[in-house]
Chain A
Amino acid sequence: MANGKVQIANVVHEPRTPNPEPQNRQSAIANRQSPTSEFAPGIDVTIAGVRFQNPVLTASGTFGYGQEFANIIDLNRLGGICVKGISADPMPGNPPPRIYETESGMLNAIGLQNVGAKRFLQEKLPFLRTLKARCVVNVFGYSTEDYVRCLETLNTGDGIDAYELNISCPNTRCGGIVYGSDPKLTEEVVTASKRAARFPLFVKLSPNVTDITVFARAAQEGGADALTLVNTFVGMAIDVETRTPRISNVTAGLSGPAIKPLALRLVHQAARAVHIPIIGIGGIASPEDALEFLIAGACAVQVGTANFYAPDTPIRVAEGIEDYCRRQRIHLDQLVGSLKLPLSDPSRVAEH
């Protein structure tokens, strides 16, 4: 790849006519004065056969099961919804305190409290499948058997578009992160899960590793259809008055704008190490944040912590990406991985 651009296999964009019919004629006519108005950029993206109407998804654990936001934002304008991590059996979660706000970020150690796969299918999925937003089910377990058992239960569900394998939660004892911090185990659990999964399998990686490319390749070897990068960074905060940890779990996952540069670097590196699509996540709160991830090589993004304080963020981000593409007169696929690196940068040589 002499130009430094990474070829994203598995990502297919809808074929387009050079000058497609504008969706909203009124606004197209109103904007005709502007030289860029007639260009309608395609911002849909197809990952492992699943078409998302725009490249913005809500991150697991920050958007419940979707319905909680139904009265606040138009869920049909989202690209996709990654639901709260589901395990084969219900999980109670960690004792409080579970969250703490830090500068431009927040620590959480929820402990994957969830309703379990069976109740998810009965109570949550029927609503999710009525939406235009794609339903990505985040799956979590304590052992390879747990992951497989959870997937087998979920496989019977109608309306799931893809799975996101969580091998990176930092907040449960001997939980997913064991898999996410050993490349052999990563490959093992991904291989077993891929074999069990009826729907495409995305794998969400931990940033708490020395070399992300090792884990990205291990997941790819295991048969991952795409990667989600990254989960939270392990962090901590202490109450100096009482000299106690701010979070009962002592350590916790850091999210929010504070981690964006760290996550972006990992997406940039992983995008140059694998050929499967990458979904970028980490502190995205604005269209510009998302554009950085797309340019670095992510073909889609997830909005997480921002959903807590500004639930309109994913829609604003999708609109902003479309505006940018219109202004630049490019389609989304032309933006993905379009980072212009200095000639001297060693990562210009793709490590496939």
Chain B
Amino acid sequence: MLDAIVTVVENRPLSGGHFVLSVRSPCQAQAARPGQFAMIRLLGHADVLLRRPMSIYDVRPGRNGNQAQPEPQVLDFLYKVVGRGTALMATLKPGDRVGLLAPLGHGFFAEDYLAEARGGDEVLHVAGGIGIAALLLPARELAAAGVKQRLFFGGRTHADLVGVDEFSPYVSETALATEDGSLGHHGYVTAPLSSYLEAQPGKRLLILACGPWAMLEATVSLARRYGQRCLVSMENRMGCALGVCLGCSIRVQGEGHGSYERVCTEGPVFWSEHVVWGEERLPKT
């Protein structure tokens, strides 16, 4: 983990108020593992204090002058403008500087998900909105390991379903869902997920999920019903991402001191059965 000031190389607008922010930082790009995240600090805005947690969407090679660099040089962050911080992020231009604390958290790798995935029949990615940002890197790693994969991707409307093209090389099938019916299944993404799980008796599946609390809760409940294991990548507001403010703690199984764990430090990826669902709702981040 490194705390650095880095340079924006691109801030590309997508549909529905989504953007991909690309920053150059070879050390951090090469250290990043699937499922980790970063804290982005906007410089020069005294009213927006805290850094913003963002999944590391992608890491990719870049160029240094005329020379192509094979090792990762650039980190991409997929975000949607939802508040003051992301609205300011959307104004960033190439050459601007931002603070970047990365990579952070235990990603999917810490749960030995590769072994779990290789031992099973298929990995199902379940993404809600910008939750897809946490799943691209694991999808690429799993594809390289020869694991069969499938994507279930939901949003409010078609403009929320960004990044499908980037994801599709790694999966055999993609099921889309929108709440307004503008693209794919009309309704929640958990409906096509439920039908698929129903049609796979005897199969050993691993679900990787990231998205809003309600979607995660519904996904976890389906996983339980069909006896499949599920890793969730949690989102929460964060003060520091260093494990000291305890602002991002969520309820987990266990009594007393063990009943809360920090998304930034013990997470953001948890086995679904470890998290206590139903009692509390996390804020929309």
Instruction: List the interface of chain A (C-beta within 8 A of B).
Output: 61-64, 68-69, 71-72, 84, 90-93, 95-101, 103-106, 108, 110, 113, 115-116, 239, 246, 248, 256-257, 305, 307-311
B244 and A106: CB pair below 8 A? no
Residues of A within 8 A of B257 (CB): 90-92, 113, 115-116
In which size bucket is the chain B interface? Answer: 20 to 34
Encode B230-267 as 1/0 by CB contact (under 8 A) with A. 00000011111011111111110000110110000000
Given A99-B247, A108-B239, A307-B240; A92-B51 close (CB under 8 Å): no
Report how far A141 CA is from B247 CA in the complex, Å: 21
Residues of B within 8 A of A257 (CB): 46, 49
CB distance from A170 to the nearest CB of B (A): 15
Given A64-B243, A92-B259, A99-B245; A71-B49 close (CB under 8 Å): no
Report how far A113 CA is from B249 CA in the complex, Å: 10
Residues of A within 8 A of B46 (CB): 104, 257
In the assembled complex, 10 residue pairs joining A and B whose CB atoms fall closer than 8 Å, in A order, are A68-B243, A90-B256, A93-B260, A96-B280, A101-B85, A108-B245, A110-B245, A308-B51, A308-B240, A309-B240
Instruction: List the interface of chain B (C-beta within 8 A of A).
Output: 1, 3, 41, 46-51, 85, 99, 236-240, 242-251, 256-257, 259-260, 279-280, 282-283
Q: A92-B260, A98-B247, A305-B49 are in contact. List 8 more A-B contacts (CB 8 A).
A: A62-B245, A68-B242, A84-B244, A99-B248, A101-B50, A110-B247, A113-B246, A309-B240
Of B248, B251, B260, most A-chain CB atoms within 10 Å: B260
Report how far A100 CA is from B85 CA in the complex, Å: 13
Report how far A305 CA is from B48 CA in the complex, Å: 12
Closest 5 CB pairs of A and B: A64-B244, A99-B247, A90-B257, A308-B240, A97-B283
Residues of B within 8 A of A110 (CB): 245-247, 249
CB distance from B236 to the nearest CB of A (A): 7
A72 and B49: CB pair below 8 A? no
Residues of A within 8 A of B236 (CB): 96-97
Report how far A257 CA is from B49 CA in the complex, Å: 9
CB distance from A308 to the nearest CB of B (A): 4
CB distance from A310 to the nearest CB of B (A): 8
CB distance from A306 to the nearest CB of B (A): 8
Residues of A within 8 A of B279 (CB): 95
B282 and A97: CB pair below 8 A? yes
Report how far A143 CA is from B72 CA in the complex, Å: 55
Residue in A61, A95, A239 whose beta carbon sits within 8 Å of that of B251 in the complex: A95
Residues of A within 8 A of B41 (CB): 309-310
Report how far A305 CA is from B251 CA in the complex, Å: 24
Report how far A125 CA is from B84 CA in the complex, Å: 40
A309 and B256: CB pair below 8 A? no
Residues of B within 8 A of A113 (CB): 246, 249, 257, 260
A61 and B245: CB pair below 8 A? yes
Q: Which residue of A lies closest to B259 (CB)?
A: A92
Report how far A205 CA is from B247 CA in the complex, Å: 23
Report how far A180 CA is from B156 CA in the complex, Å: 48
Residues of A within 8 A of B259 (CB): 92
CB distance from A316 to the nearest CB of B (A): 13
B242 and A108: CB pair below 8 A? no
Residues of B within 8 A of A106 (CB): 49-50, 239
Report how far A105 CA is from B279 CA in the complex, Å: 28
Of A93, A95, A307, most B-chain CB atoms within 10 Å: A95
Q: Which residue of B lies closest to A105 (CB)?
A: B49
B242 and A69: CB pair below 8 A? yes
CB distance from A302 to the nearest CB of B (A): 14
Of A97, A106, A113, A307, most B-chain CB atoms within 10 Å: A97
Residue in B49, B85, B249 whose beta carbon sits within 8 Å of that of A96 in the complex: B249
Residue in A93, A246, A309 whose beta carbon sits within 8 Å of that of B246 in the complex: A93
Q: Which residue of A lies closest to B265 (CB)?
A: A68
Report how far A93 CA is from B252 CA in the complex, Å: 13
Residues of A within 8 A of B243 (CB): 64, 68
B47 and A103: CB pair below 8 A? yes
CB distance from A83 to the nearest CB of B (A): 10
B244 and A99: CB pair below 8 A? no
Residues of A within 8 A of B50 (CB): 101, 106, 308-309
Report how far A97 CA is from B245 CA in the complex, Å: 13
Report how far A294 CA is from B41 CA in the complex, Å: 29
Of B48, B238, B246, B256, most A-chain CB atoms within 10 Å: B246
A101 and B242: CB pair below 8 A? no
Residue in A64, A105, A115, A116 whose beta carbon sits within 8 Å of that of B242 in the complex: A64
Residues of A within 8 A of B249 (CB): 93, 96, 98, 110, 113
